[in-house]
Amino acid sequence: MLHPPPESWSPAAPAQHARKEPAGPWHSEAACRRDEAGLFFAPSREPTAHRLSREQAAKAVCARCPVLLECREHALDQPEPYGVWGGLTAAERRVMLGRRRRRDAAEAPPSMGRIA
């Protein structure tokens, strides 16, 4: 698993991060294979200033990761609800997914059941 959550992390939905299988074939090249600093997941009751600093540090790791795009697409496809994946925080991924949904809806052909 990529950057496993630290022991101090208390997830609302732990099963999704408790996967034992690699997230994809790109996993072996991940720059965060050993997240010893615990950068990618928030510990419980993390102060905002600490979270912002930690997320920036995680993003710096992502920026030099050779599998950033694969990781990002994986996190968007799942979707992964927590942590920094592919250089994006969970909030940033939610925004990106919302944009994709709106774009897809705008590009979809008109429904057969609707009469204009």
What residue numbers does the annotated binding site for [4Fe-4S] cluster cover? 32, 62, 65, 71
Which range binds ligand SF4 by CB under 6 A, 14-22, 49-57, 82-90, 102-110? 82-90
Reported residue count of the chain is 116
Cα–Cα dist 73/27, whole Å:
13
The C-alpha angle 36, 57, 42, rounded to 5 degrees, equals: 65
- The reply to whether 86 sits near ligand SF4 by the rule CB under 6 A is yes
- The reply to whether 30 sits near ligand SF4 by the rule CB under 6 A is yes
Cα 82 to the chain's mean position, in Å? 6
Binding track over 50-79 against ligand SF4, x by CB under 6 A: -----------xx--x-xx--x--------
Using alpha carbons, list the distances in angstroms from residue 24 to 31, 43, 85. Answer: 14, 25, 13
Q: Which residues bind ligand SF4 (CB under 6 A)?
A: 2-3, 30-32, 40, 61-62, 65, 67-68, 71, 84-87
